[in-house]
Chains A and B, each alone.
Chain A
Amino acid sequence: MRVHFTVNGRPQEADDVWEGESLLYVLRERLGLPGSKNACEQGECGSCTVRLDGVPVCSCLVAAGQVEGREVVTVEGLADFAKQRAEGGCASGACGTSLQNAQEWQAQGTDSQTGEGTELAPIQQAFIDAGAVQCGFCTPGLLVAADEMLERNPNPADADIREALSGNLCRCTGYEKIMDAVRLAAARQSQGV
């Protein structure tokens, strides 16, 4: 079957989708967006977290056909998504992230000499600055979940952060640096930097 849906603000369609396929599979294998990770395929690890109509979900547990006509944000579109949110919407008219840009997206910060490069979402920059990334496999899911929490709750207590990230497993960091990163992003957000 064919599925039409919005990915990172742009309409997309996926062809030859098997009826029992997950949204995660469609994103990775049909649309070439491997940012959302596949670790458990059973909702346990959160590494496949995306936003579906704004809400964080495990994309491995959403059937492809269920996203017909709906809106998905993946980690590849997070930087643009955060930027537009900060600007209060999409001023330029060219909002979202094209499929090609999403496919080629890389987590490189802005080059300090040339000013060129990809702009990161504040939560992404905070993960780098706090050293919250080791192997990186859990990172995309954590970024999507943490970004959504900060949108809802700009001044989270530690308990709020732990709860919001309780569906995301990390096997490397022991979570402390991840906590630091989210606290850092929250502090920067409240200082408006």
Chain B
Amino acid sequence: MDFLRPASWEEALAAKAEHPTAVPIAGGTDVMVEINFDHRRPEYLMDLNRVGDLSEWEVGEESVRLGASVPYTKIMENLRAELPGLALASHTVASPQIRNRGGVGGNLGTASPAGDAHPALLAAGAEVEVESVRGSRRIPIDEFYKGVKRNALAADELIRAVHVKKADGPQQFSKVGTRNAMVIAVCAFGLALHPRTRTVRTGIGSAAPTPIRARAAEEFLNAALEEGGFWDSGKIVTPSVAKQFADLCAAACNPIDDVRGTASYRRHAVGVMARRTLTWTWESYRGARRLTEGAA
């Protein structure tokens, strides 16, 4: 095995072009497990910790540019207002030790259907900035996941950053597991209200071969909220609407039975989380509306 230590982003791209089989290592919380257990013996291991800008973030007008290696701890501490869904999801990852090392770039690199960042990114709306010596491109998050642990990266490409839309409304993340820490999701659900465009977006984890959005459920809810004048009136979402939304989210799943849970449990749990996260976010939307109206 060779250990590559690029000192800059350009050097990293050049090394990846020269050795497309090189395995990048950022926090190492996925890669090192595989190496320790001899599941993987890469010819080249490429350390990204020396590429400083990968650990930085920038809050822009519309979105946050989150460097690929920014650890979860920093997201929780610094981006709770801008990226509430991702901050909540980050807080559910493993343990403090893991959150101090692991980040969204590694989660995207692994592209496990159980990765906790994915539902939050899908719900918020995000683009993955990837680059190779051939050039740079931005992959919409919906097109990034290609199969179980497969993503849209070419062999010579690296993830530089994720551009996540800043929250324009309440966001929630919910995860089912056996304890509050150190749990790979049985299934997970992210929901973001986007009052500016009067839309709702979802993300489902661990209930299909890839992280997915529940598009039919989103379309149903968008139409129901619009037709009922809910965004303007701030009324409570009708239970029948919430139920239909939850059922459509459950129907979007294509889960499997495994050691963590059965397919039917996952489908059921996704429905429950969909209804709950809708209630939580809608309550906080109504609360915020009342405040602004009270002030006006």
- CA–CA, A56 to B5, complex, Å? 23
**B100 & A57 in contact (Cβ 8 Å cutoff):** yes
Q: Which residue of B lies closest to A54 (CB)?
A: B100
Chain A residues near B96: list those with CB within 8 A. Answer: 56, 145, 163-164, 166-167
Q: Mark B167-210 against chain A: 1 for CB-CB distance below 8 A, else 0.
A: 00000000000001110000000000000000000000000000
**A42 & B33 in contact (Cβ 8 Å cutoff):** yes
Chain B residues near A22: list those with CB within 8 A. Answer: 32, 36
**B14 contacts the other chain (Cβ, under 8 Å)?**
no
Q: Which of B6-54 contact A (CB under 8 A)?
A: 25, 27-29, 31-33, 35-37, 41-42, 45, 47, 49
**A49 contacts the other chain (Cβ, under 8 Å)?**
yes
**A43 & B25 in contact (Cβ 8 Å cutoff):** no
Q: Mark A163-183 against chain B: 1 for CB-CB distance below 8 A, else 0.
A: 110111000000000000000
- CA–CA, A127 to B49, complex, Å? 35
**A167 & B97 in contact (Cβ 8 Å cutoff):** yes
**B238 contacts the other chain (Cβ, under 8 Å)?**
no
**A106 contacts the other chain (Cβ, under 8 Å)?**
no
A144 → B minimal CB distance (Å):
10
**B101 & A61 in contact (Cβ 8 Å cutoff):** yes
**B2 contacts the other chain (Cβ, under 8 Å)?**
yes
**B182 & A44 in contact (Cβ 8 Å cutoff):** yes
- CA–CA, A25 to B271, complex, Å? 45
B272 → A minimal CB distance (Å):
24
**A41 contacts the other chain (Cβ, under 8 Å)?**
yes
**A66 & B47 in contact (Cβ 8 Å cutoff):** yes
- Total count of chain A residues near the partner, CB < 8 A: 28
Partner of A65, one of B45, B98, B182: B45
- CA–CA, A47 to B180, complex, Å? 19
Chain A residues near B28: list those with CB within 8 A. Answer: 61-63, 66
Partner of B32, one of A44, A61, A163, A167: A61
**B95 & A166 in contact (Cβ 8 Å cutoff):** yes
Q: Which of A33-70 contact B (CB under 8 A)?
A: 41-44, 46, 49, 55-58, 60-63, 65-66, 68
**A20 contacts the other chain (Cβ, under 8 Å)?**
yes
A71 → B minimal CB distance (Å):
13
Q: Mark B79-113 against chain A: 1 for CB-CB distance below 8 A, else 0.
A: 00000000000000011111011000000000000
**B32 & A60 in contact (Cβ 8 Å cutoff):** yes
**A62 & B32 in contact (Cβ 8 Å cutoff):** yes
**A56 & B25 in contact (Cβ 8 Å cutoff):** no
**B280 contacts the other chain (Cβ, under 8 Å)?**
no
Partner of A66, one of B1, B25, B35: B25
**A42 & B37 in contact (Cβ 8 Å cutoff):** yes
**B180 & A62 in contact (Cβ 8 Å cutoff):** no
B253 → A minimal CB distance (Å):
27
Chain B residues near A145: list those with CB within 8 A. Answer: 96-97
Chain A residues near B94: list those with CB within 8 A. Answer: 43, 167
B285 → A minimal CB distance (Å):
28
B33 → A minimal CB distance (Å):
5
Q: Which residue of A lies closest to B48 (CB)?
A: A66
B40 → A minimal CB distance (Å):
9
Chain B residues near A62: list those with CB within 8 A. Answer: 28, 32, 101
**A43 & B37 in contact (Cβ 8 Å cutoff):** no
**A135 contacts the other chain (Cβ, under 8 Å)?**
no
Partner of A68, one of B5, B31, B32, B97: B5
**A193 contacts the other chain (Cβ, under 8 Å)?**
no
User: Which of A1, A41, A44, A65 counts the most B-chain CB atoms under 10 A from its CB?
Assistant: A65
A174 → B minimal CB distance (Å):
15
Q: Mark A59-92 against chain B: 1 for CB-CB distance below 8 A, else 0.
A: 0111101101000000000000000000000000
| A-B contacts, 9 listed (Cβ < 8 Å) | A19-B2, A22-B36, A42-B37, A55-B73, A58-B97, A61-B98, A63-B28, A166-B181, A167-B98
- Give the 8 A-B residue pairs with the shortest CB-CB distance, closest first: A167-B95, A166-B181, A19-B1, A19-B3, A61-B32, A65-B3, A41-B36, A167-B97
A contact residues vs B (CB 8 Å cutoff): 1, 18-20, 22, 41-44, 46, 49, 55-58, 60-63, 65-66, 68, 145, 163-164, 166-168
